[in-house]
Amino acid sequence: MLVGESIGLKEGKATRVAFGETLVELGHEDPALVVVDGDLNNSTRTDLFKKAHPDRFFNVGIAESNLVGVAGGLASCGKKPWIASFAAFLLCNAFDQVRMSIAFPQMNVKLVGSHGGISIGEDGPSQMGIEDFALASALPGFTVVVPADEPSTRALVRQLHAHNGPGYMRTGRPNVPIVYANDAPVRLGKAHELRNGDDVTLVACGLMVAAALEAAALLEREGLSARVLDVHTLKPLDEETIERAARETGRVVVAEEHLCYGGLGSIVAAALARRWPVPMRFVNLKDTYAESGKPRDVLVKYGLTAEDIVAAAHQLIPKPILSPA
């Protein structure tokens, strides 16, 4: 397991698998749902939809720009397309088409960028989607979602499908810890408090949510109380919940599997600068591409672990001196 083992979190499915399985269920419920893939359906796990609903699955090949254009056309005819590819390919290769064919006309198309972040490990930097939060959030009218685990992915896929408008969801390659029960109480556009605390707020999304929970447990051993927020919806951001946490704890650490520019940290910092400025620290990939390697080793090398979140918290609050028992 990449994170969460030390606090007893059980390993669940990869979010890409939970996405694919939920898409099959939605396909049974909504005949207008169609899926378009860029020849990666066995990786994005839209292959599950292909098997269940072959008449509503379209593979356009390794042609991301065409993938987006086809989806925009289908949406203009009343269909509800979900399109999938690796995050690095879908947004980086086809950003202009996403901008003009989906964002500008506000088409009801949902994009899924699989293999997000550096935790894909051995696939290497060419396939690591580390710019996707910034690119997707820059598109007017887009809803941007990054689920933390299997149950929250299932809930958010359904809610995103029900939302009328363009959206982007990042999914990951590795299996991830189970953070939520099967009836995950997540709501699109609403940050979810997983743990209360008074000394510091740990804001995270995706894989880093389990790491934040692990960091909170480590801080508790030192006598520090950390609040943990799962900000699964980057856009629209739940500014009220984040502001309340900042007011009540006075310090914020933001953790994400993304570059330091334009991601969750930038979005949260901008919101708090307007509403309630507090001292902040950021745990992210900084300004670099990663190397290929074992997923856990890569996360350790680039500072995306619970220990790194703890270290960031210690920059904001002194490590307490515990009295002898």
Residue appearing with tokens 């210690």: 314
Of the candidates 101, 39, 30, 18, which has an alpha carbon nearest to the alpha carbon of residue 65? 101
Q: Which helix (H) or strand (E) holds 109?
A: none
Which one of 5, 11, 64, 150 is the catalytic residue?
A: 64
In Å, how far from its chain's centre is CA 136?
Answer: 12
Residues contacting residue 188 through CB under 8 Å, at least 6 positions apart? 143, 145, 156, 159, 160, 163, 233
Of 112, 182, 116, nearest to 149 by C-alpha is: 182
CA distance 322 to 314: 15
Residue 223, token pair as written in the block = 């006598």
Q: Is 122 a catalytic residue?
A: no
Pairing of β 280-283 and β 252-255: parallel
Q: Report the DSSP pairing between strands 200-204 and 233-235.
A: unpaired
Please name which of 188, 40, 168 lies closest in space to residue 111, comparing C-alpha atoms.
168
Separation of alpha carbons 130 and 135, rounded Å: 10
Sheet strands (E) in 21-62: 33-37, 57-59
Active-site residues: which are they? 64
